[in-house]
Amino acid sequence: VLKVNAGEVKNTVAPTLHGIFFEEISHGGEGGLYAELIQNRGFEESRIPPGAVVVNGMLDGNPQKKPHYNLNGKASNWKMPWPVQTDFPYWKLETGLGADISLALDKNDPLTAETPQSAHLSIKKLSAGNNYFANEGFWGIDAKKGETYDLSFYMHSDGSYKGPLTVLLLSQNGSVIASHTFTPAPRNEWKQYSCALVPSASDGKARFAFSFGGTGNIWFDFVSLFPRKTFMNRPNGVRADLGQYLADLKPAFVRWPGGCFVEGINVESAPNWKTSIGKLEKRPGTFSVWGYWSSDGFGFHEYLQFCEDIKADALYVFNAGVSCEFRSGTFIKDEDLQPVIDDVLDALEYAVGPVTSRWGKLRAANGHPKPFPLKYIEVGNEQHGPWYARRYNRFHEAIKSKYPGIKIISSMGIGDINKRTLDSIKTTDMADEHAYKGAFWTFNNYDHFDKYKRGDYEVYVGEYATNAGVGAGNMLAALNDAVYIMGMENNGDLVKMSSYAPLFENVNTRHWPVNLIKFKSDSSFARISYYTIQLMNRQRADKNLPVSLSIKKPEDPKPRNTGGIGLATWDTQTEYKDIEIVRDGKQLYKSDFVNRPGEWQSVRGNWQVQDGAIAQTVQGPQRLMLLKDKTFDTYTLKLKARKTSGTNAFIIPF
């Protein structure tokens, strides 16, 4: 019996419940949301990030082995694989027989001090065939017949280059679908060239190339190709289809720029909002912990502009003076923190300060006198413990005293804030809890948030997704996500905001198992979870009424002679042993293995168990599927797993 008390309101559901979280991961921005079509446009992709060195072909972000903070107070050896790039990734010389053209990375004559690398071509002899210096784009360039693409690049010569220089868009079969010819100035200084290219045919995997018509020395830098058509047709804007997906979710806010990206591989190279604004050619970019450079073309200003364009509030996450703790991180000492605090206050002044202020004036000079809709700020990403709390308190105090209306979010909350205390955080507006769960977890934990102690803070689930036991994301994942959202809605007094993660995946380079919106150069699609969130947001309830439910247990069914299926799943954090199958109180099977986290192969295989019931694992490591033998009469099978560590087992019995 379901009883609904229509006369009372249990709690309300916040209109801010659904937002989005953008991070530079899986090329979600670079070669994704940011509409630039040339990959490695500034020849900076092979640059070593500040504070890092190369050891055995890999980047080491913490060469001095400075002590770093982590949860257990112990140093962690684990590092992301950050192989060092070759000199010219995504670019190549394509020449016919007899050509004598050499290519070298030049660090002596930078276009800007912030972007030290450029490409030097020494063209001694041309071939009778192609003499190309070509770029593959982001695994292809989407050239659409009749549409306009704006090309610009910097070039200089030492006076020796004689002859024309042609720029080309090439289809996959090598035919020229757009071209323009320049006569380069013989001057020994950087000069910008630009033109519009309009393809005569469409090709979703086109390439760009310089074609040399003369010999001599020539240098290139900052080669940019932009579709004229972007989301809301903004120059240096956002890819139209991907921007539209985000706008169609009608998110209340956009969390940016990470995630682990915020933390950086060390504090020296962590993102810096100040170097992500202004002239594109002067932005040094940020080396993402996910192993590639972001050009920061979608920088702080563009992000704020995008929020305004899609009518969402901005939630800016800043580096709290510590880099990715499990990834060779470094940190800024407490006594040196003041410049970091000042930097955050400057960011807020840029976003919302008056035009008479130093940074507000710069915002106006960059084309936006009005304040941007920045309403939230988050202190670091996934940090916790008393060390973080101490630091959080300083940021909180400084921000609140200048910007009392801005909500400050503590990143302490990963896992389960219900189990942790907020340590010595004096006061916070919101705690950000991250929730990556396995299949079926939410079905068994619908009441997860019901159990939370209420404090003087609200909860923001900054990252959630069902991302284990669901392949790369499927209907089961979407159902789990839906139930998770219902659990948040039901606790509307506590959970005020949420965002799925990660948002994007360029299918050519995936860094995370399950992502919301997938794309390649010429196409994109959103997974079912996207439509789930959209539906739940469109049909968002505004109130919860008190409900009580009583269930009459059905009679035991009569014996039948049919087969059946049972399914068990558990999370990857947990160790189990003694997995039992029990029939009518009698043990049919008991596992002789210890199922350790990350060692799922130990449960694979077929087992013939007593009385003819067959137990079998299927569909990957996180599920144990039990098939009843057809010759049985009906019985009750119970599946039990004893956990030896970690969190609960999630078992759906027969």
Contacting ligand AHR (CB under 6 A), which of 227, 257, 259, 284? 259
Smallest distance, Å, CB 455 to ligand AHR? Answer: 23
Dig out the tokens for 255 from the structure. Answer: 């969390």
Backbone angles phi, psi at 434, to 5 degrees: -105, 140
Residue 265 binds ligand AHR, judged by CB under 6 A? no
Residue 504 binds ligand AHR, judged by CB under 6 A? no
Crossing angle, helix 338-352 and helix 300-309, to 10 degrees? 40
Contacting ligand AHR (CB under 6 A), which of 13, 19, 22, 23? 23
CA distance 210 to 226: 16
Smallest distance, Å, CB 502 to ligand AHR? Answer: 4
Whether the Cβ atoms of residue 598 and residue 572 lie closer than 8 Å to each other: yes
Radius of gyration for the alpha carbons in the chain, expressed in angstroms and rounded: 28
- Residue whose CB is less far from ligand AHR, 261 or 331: 261
Residue 501 binds ligand AHR, judged by CB under 6 A? yes
Smallest distance, Å, CB 279 to ligand AHR? Answer: 29
Whether the Cβ atoms of residue 158 and residue 188 lie closer than 8 Å to each other: yes
Interacting span for ligand AHR (CB under 6 A) from 60-68, 253-261, 363-371, 552-560: 253-261
Contacting ligand AHR (CB under 6 A), which of 31, 251, 360, 502? 502
Contacting ligand AHR (CB under 6 A), which of 208, 253, 395, 512? 512
Interacting span for ligand AHR (CB under 6 A) from 200-208, 256-264, 300-308, 420-428: 256-264
Contacting ligand AHR (CB under 6 A), which of 141, 169, 238, 260? 260
* DSSP β-bridge partners for residue 576: 595, 643
Smallest distance, Å, CB 538 to ligand AHR? Answer: 25
CA distance 484 to 89: 42
What Cα–Cα distance (Å) separates residue 575 from each residue in 37, 393, 588, 590, 626?
46, 37, 22, 16, 20
What Cα–Cα distance (Å) separates residue 383 from each residue in 69, 287, 424, 431, 639?
10, 20, 13, 11, 37
CA distance 325 to 412: 14
Smallest distance, Å, CB 25 to ligand AHR? Answer: 6
Residue 318 binds ligand AHR, judged by CB under 6 A? no
Smallest distance, Å, CB 524 to ligand AHR? Answer: 19
Residues in 370-399 at the binding interface with ligand AHR, rule: CB under 6 A: 381-382
Residue 463 binds ligand AHR, judged by CB under 6 A? yes
Residue sitting closest to ligand AHR (CB):
259
Binding mask 419-458 for ligand AHR (x = CB under 6 A): ---------------x------------------------
Buried-state track 507-537, b at ≥16 Cβ within 10 A, e below 16:
bebbbbebbbbbbbbbebebbbbbebbbebb
Binding mask 323-362 for ligand AHR (x = CB under 6 A): ----------------------------------------
DSSP label at residue 530: H
Whether the Cβ atoms of residue 208 and residue 169 lie closer than 8 Å to each other: yes
- Residue whose CB is less far from ligand AHR, 168 or 517: 517
* Amino acid symbol at 401: S
Interacting span for ligand AHR (CB under 6 A) from 127-135, 211-219, 258-266, 614-622: 258-266
Whether the Cβ atoms of residue 11 and residue 492 lie closer than 8 Å to each other: yes
Whether the Cβ atoms of residue 549 and residue 11 lie closer than 8 Å to each other: no
The tally of CA atoms less than 13 A away on the side-chain side of residue 497 is 29
Contacting ligand AHR (CB under 6 A), which of 42, 51, 140, 258? 258
CA distance 137 to 492: 45
Smallest distance, Å, CB 261 to ligand AHR? Answer: 6
Whether the Cβ atoms of residue 569 and residue 440 lie closer than 8 Å to each other: yes
DSSP 172-222: TTS-EEEEEEE-----SS-EEEEEEE--SS-EEEEEEEEEE-SBEEEEEEE
Q: For residue 184, say if its preceding peptide bond is cis, omega within 30 degrees of 0.
A: no
- Residue whose CB is less far from ligand AHR, 17 or 501: 501
Interacting span for ligand AHR (CB under 6 A) from 254-262, 355-363, 476-484, 594-602: 254-262
Smallest distance, Å, CB 146 to ligand AHR? Answer: 38
Residues at the site binding ligand AHR, with contacts judged by CB under 6 A: 23, 25, 258-260, 381-382, 434, 463, 501-502, 512
